[in-house]
């Protein structure tokens, strides 16, 4: 018997969360071993560790409580990684030395696996005078390009790539350049962008009044507020960025507004944090807590929910004490406030199980009730921890009770906090759960609606054969178990059929009882009018949301998963079955792009080519050998060897050899390796080679790999250097568009989930 509800769940565990020591020692042989490892690690700081280890294990068992990926993959492994998901870095000083000190801190943080957020509003605008050097400032966007290039070169812990959020205030003189930055599809690809929108700006928009763009007390420009708002909306309509963060509302609602100011968020926006702020994340799986699903007495088990939340709060509080931190300033900040981000996943599935249509008024009320119950249980658990272990160091009873979310908290909770203090300054947040929701059996993600009832994906086996797997939503699978082929009821809806206003309604319902923020994507149809699109953001503002992120598929952003013509099990009026298609011709690589269940064994003999690279100013050439394997009649890269007599190159060439070969052997659309290498620049300068400027040795190696892939037919031809070509024709299945290719597994089904492009097939996320 397996604990996994679906094959994809076990594959995600094996790829992402299973601990396999590199020295050959025993690691996790089963998911039970993973739960035991995590429970033991988080109980180690308790006075009765064996008692709490068993309780923590019970919370993890059967995927009821899902710590975020960094905890699940890192706790108890002894690896030098942080268990915190996200950080906001220190305020960027407006001087060259401080800017590059900040760059160094960002690199150290991402090296340990943390996503970061930065407010670039503190850097003087382009063209401003730089006193003492007789020059004009290059502006914050130029330094964002430097951050972007740095992020490309760093692989986060556990194969996660660094993710970054950049924010800018709506009154910064360079805000218009910030808004339009993503019009260049090759620029700032490692960043999510969001505009910090103030209450005063929204009032000026509604009044169609003037708006001053200022820096350091100087007014640079005066424009119409509504014109700037329309520019934000147009960029988001066209490119899905920037997002909008209602920053004054965030600071007003902050339980710590008496001792901190917030100007940035983590990469997905659910954690507004102060300078050096850090937050760990975890989710209660509501889909596992419904009794009698689809039955006459279907309901969420409130007693089980309260017990689970209480245990989860204790586990997450312990993470503060057992985790490493990339920077000492981050450790001090976390210890002083002990903020955690407990959220939910499986909300949409749970609503289906109790017979409610996601987006309806009844579902919104039920969501608010469930989130209220979670907030109560979390705050009371934190008060109990304060009685036992002490309140967070910056706790000030009078100021805390008069601040933010605490003003609207239940009176008995306020009274308990006043009497005993509270262990954690903030407790609730709804994070992206794309990967952990797959790990939990493909439950609906976060508070998002069900995206698709099912989709299929191809998996390449070691013998070269391919198998097809159906990935079914957890609630749909449960319905099939109970009722067989009976049609799904009318209240089964998905992201393709919901009106944007229904999305906003659900976000607002959840926000009432979330003291941090929410990562949520408002799916909009491609043909939505610009005026209706703008109304989505005004609805989010009017209903109390702390931010808004939309996704409208188009030629630039890509489309959602392809939709098949047939669907024999959908209720009337709903979208047909969604299929992650691998049969249609890929955009760039030749042949099927398929994900391998395991790395292929190396054949005894491979066909390959060796290329000589002579980098200017280097005494020794570099030799790159690329060997290929033939699968399904197509030749594809299998391994790389990079050699040089220059011993200064030894360490990085060996590392690059191993990393690229490991990626090649996993399969999928590995052409992204070329793109990433070609984007690396050397701050000391590049070189002119064969009439073209090459920004670094690594970029030159990327060019050789690209040339090889073209010559062997793996790539159709040199493209624009992007993971997806915005000028390429979209290949359709039937007449329905499909999404861009996943950089990890190659499936053409990337979609926006909770503010981040995510692959439903393998769980890979741009945001790490």
The residues carrying an active-site annotation are 266, 268, 270
Whether 22 is covered by a domain: the verdict is no
Give 14 or 42, the one with higher predicted confidence.
42
pLDDT of residue 385: 98
Q: Hey, how many other C-beta atoms are within 10 angstroms of the C-beta on 41?
A: 23
Instruction: Say what the pLDDT of residue 399 is.
Output: 97
Q: Is residue 148 part of a domain?
A: no
Could you report how far apart the first and last alpha carbons of the chain are, in Å?
32
Which helix (DSSP H) or strand (DSSP E) does residue 88 occupy? strand 86-88
How many structural domains compose the chain?
A: 1
Region for 12 from its dihedrals, namely left if φ exceeds 0, alpha if ψ lies in -120 to 50, beta otherwise: alpha
Tokens 């100011």, residue located: 261
* Residue 754 lies inside a defined structural domain of this protein: no
Distance CA 538, CA 206 (A): 10
pLDDT for res 755 = 59
Q: Is residue 693 part of a domain?
A: yes
Q: How confident is the model at residue 528 (pLDDT cuts 50, 70, 90)?
A: very high
Does 652 reside within a domain? yes
**Is the CB of residue 196 less than 8 Å from the CB of residue 167?**
yes
Per-residue DSSP letter, 122? G
Higher per-residue pLDDT: 287 or 5: 287
pLDDT tens, 139-165? 999 999 988 888 876 643 334 455 789
Q: Which residue has the higher pLDDT, 645 or 280?
A: 280
One DSSP character per residue, 661-684 reads HHHHHHBS-TTHHHHHHHT---TT
pTM: 0.78
DSSP 569: S
| Six token digits for residue 304 | 């089980």
Rounded Cα distance between 422 and 416, Å, is 9
Which has more pLDDT, 132 or 101?
101
Residue 741: the pLDDT is: 54
Pick the range with the lowest mean pLDDT from 267-276, 441-450, 458-467, 471-480.
458-467
Cα separations (Å) of 413 from 43, 376, 383, 511? 26, 7, 8, 19
Nearest to 474 by CA among 441, 445, 451: 441
Lowest-pLDDT choice from 167-171, 590-594, 660-664: 590-594
CA nearest to 236, candidates 503, 542, 533, 528: 533
Q: What is the pLDDT of residue 655?
A: 86
- Report if residue 702 sits inside a domain: yes
Q: What value does the mean pLDDT take over residues 593-597?
A: 47
**DSSP state letter for 136:** E
Q: Is 50 exposed, middle or buried (0-12, 13-18, 19+ CB in 10 A)?
A: exposed
Question: What is the model's pLDDT at position 12?
Answer: 87
CA distances from 731 to 466, 524, 585, 738 (A): 22, 21, 7, 7
Of the candidate ranges 361-365, 370-374, 757-761, the one whose mean pLDDT is the lowest: 757-761
3-state helix, strand, coil in the chain (%, to 5): 40, 20, 40
In this structure, is residue 604 part of a structural domain?
A: yes
**Run of H or E residues at 660:** helix 650-666
What is the band of 464 on the pLDDT scale with cuts at 50, 70, 90?
A: low
Closest by CA to 754, choosing from 548, 554, 524, 528, is 548
- Higher per-residue confidence, 731 vs 137: 137
Sorting pLDDT into bands at 50, 70 and 90, what band is 290? Answer: very high
Residue range(s) defining the domain that contains residue 645: 595-711
Please, which residues have CB within 8 angstroms of residue 97's CB and are 6 or more apart in sequence?
none
What's the CA gap between 544 and 43, in Å, rounded?
Answer: 38
Residue 86: closest CA among 431, 352, 351, 414: 431
| Residue 719 · residue 632 · CB < 8 Å | no
Kindly report the length of the chain.
768
So what's the pLDDT on residue 635?
A: 81
Q: Cis peptide before 242, with omega less than 30 degrees from 0?
A: yes
Q: Identify whether 631 is part of a domain.
A: yes
> Quick count: other Cβ atoms within 10 Å of Cβ 415?
12
Query: Taking Cα atoms as reference points, which of 289, 276, 384 lies closest to residue 329?
Result: 276
């Amino acid at each position: 018997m397996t604990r996994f509800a679906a094959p994809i769940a076990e594959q995600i565990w094996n790829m992402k969360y299973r601990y396999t020591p590199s020295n050959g020692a025993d690691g996790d042989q089963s998911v039970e071993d993973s739960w035991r490892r995590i429970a033991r690690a988080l109980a180690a700081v308790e006075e009765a560790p064996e008692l709490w280890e068993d309780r923590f294990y019970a919370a993890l068992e059967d995927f009821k409580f899902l710590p975020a990926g960094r905890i699940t993959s890192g706790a108890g492994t002894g690896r030098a990684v942080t268990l915190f998901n996200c950080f906001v870095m220190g305020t960027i000083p407006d001087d060259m030395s401080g800017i590059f000190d900040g760059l160094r801190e960002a690199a150290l943080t991402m090296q340990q696996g943390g996503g970061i957020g930065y407010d670039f509003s503190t850097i003087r605008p382009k063209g401003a005078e730089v006193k003492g050097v007789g020059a004009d400032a290059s502006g914050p966007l130029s330094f964002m390009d430097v951050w972007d290039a740095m992020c490309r070169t760093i692989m986060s812990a556990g194969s996660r790539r660094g993710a970054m959020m950049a924010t800018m205030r709506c009154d910064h003189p360079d805000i218009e350049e910030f808004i339009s930055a993503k019009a260049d599809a090759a620029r700032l690809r490692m960043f999510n962008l969001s505009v910090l929108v103030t209450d005063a700006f929204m009032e000026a928009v509604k009044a169609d009044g003037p708006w001053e763009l200022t820096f350091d007390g100087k007014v640079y420009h005066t424009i119409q507020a509504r014109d700037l708002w329309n520019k934000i909306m147009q960029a988001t309509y066209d490119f899905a960025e920037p997002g909008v963060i209602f920053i004054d509302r965030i600071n007003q609602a902050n339980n710590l507004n008496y001792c901190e100011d917030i100007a940035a968020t983590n990469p997905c926006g659910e954690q507004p944090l102060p300078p050096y702020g850090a937050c760990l994340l975890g989710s209660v799986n509501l889909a596992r807590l419904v009794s009698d699903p689809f039955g006459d007495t279907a309901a969420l088990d409130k007693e089980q929910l309260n017990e689970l939340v209480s245990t989860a709060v204790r586990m997450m509080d312990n993470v503060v004490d057992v985790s490493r931190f990339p920077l000492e300033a981050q450790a001090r900040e976390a210890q002083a406030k002990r903020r955690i981000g407990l959220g939910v996943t499986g909300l949409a599935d749970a609503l289906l199980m109790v017979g409610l249509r996601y987006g309806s008024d009844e579902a919104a009320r039920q969501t608010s009730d469930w989130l209220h119950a979670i907030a109560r249980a979390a705050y009371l658990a934190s008060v109990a921890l304060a009685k036992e272990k002490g309140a967070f160091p910056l706790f000030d009873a009078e100021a805390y009770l008069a601040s933010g979310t605490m003003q609207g908290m239940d009176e008995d909770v306020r009274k308990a906090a006043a009497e005993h203090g509270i262990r954690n300054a903030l407790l609730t947040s709804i994070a992206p759960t794309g990967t952990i929701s797959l790990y939990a059996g493909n439950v609906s993600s976060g508070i998002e609606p069900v995206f698709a009832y099912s989709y299929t994906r191809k998996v390449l086996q070691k013998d070269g054969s391919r198998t097809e797997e159906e990935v079914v939503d957890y609630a749909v699978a449960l319905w099939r178990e109970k009722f067989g082929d009976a049609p799904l009821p009318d209240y089964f809806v998905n992201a393709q059929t919901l009106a944007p206003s229904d999305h906003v309604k659900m976000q607002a319902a959840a926000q009432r009882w979330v003291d941090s923020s929410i990562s949520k994507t408002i799916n909009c149809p491609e043909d939505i009018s610009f005026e209706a699109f703008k109304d989505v953001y005004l609805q989010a503002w009017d209903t109390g949301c702390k931010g808004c992120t939309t996704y409208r598929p188009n030629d630039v952003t890509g489309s959602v998963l392809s939709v098949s013509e047939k669907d024999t099990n959908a209720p009337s009026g709903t979208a047909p079955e969604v299929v992650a298609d691998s049969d249609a011709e890929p955009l760039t690589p030749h042949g099927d792009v398929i994900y391998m269940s395991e790395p292929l064994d190396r054949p005894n003999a491979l066909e390959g080519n060796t290329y000589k690279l002579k980098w200017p100013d280097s005494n020794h050439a570099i030799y790159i050998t690329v060997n290929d394997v033939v699968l399904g009649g197509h030749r594809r890269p299998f391994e790389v060897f990079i050699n040089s007599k220059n011993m200064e190159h030894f360490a990085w060439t060996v590392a690059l050899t191993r990393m690229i070969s490991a990626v090649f052997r996993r399969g999928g659309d590995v052409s992204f390796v070329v793109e990433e290498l070609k984007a690396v620049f050397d701050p000391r300068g590049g070189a002119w080679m064969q009439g073209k400027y090459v920004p670094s040795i690594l970029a030159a190696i990327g060019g050789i790999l690209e040339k090889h892939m073209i010559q062997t037919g793996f790539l159709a031809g040199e493209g624009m250097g992007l993971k997806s070509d915005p000028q390429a024709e979209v290949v359709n299945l039937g007449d329905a568009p499909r999404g861009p290719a996943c950089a990890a597994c190659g499936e053409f089904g990337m979609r926006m989930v909770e503010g981040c492009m995510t692959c439903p097939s393998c769980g890979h996320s741009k945001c790490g």
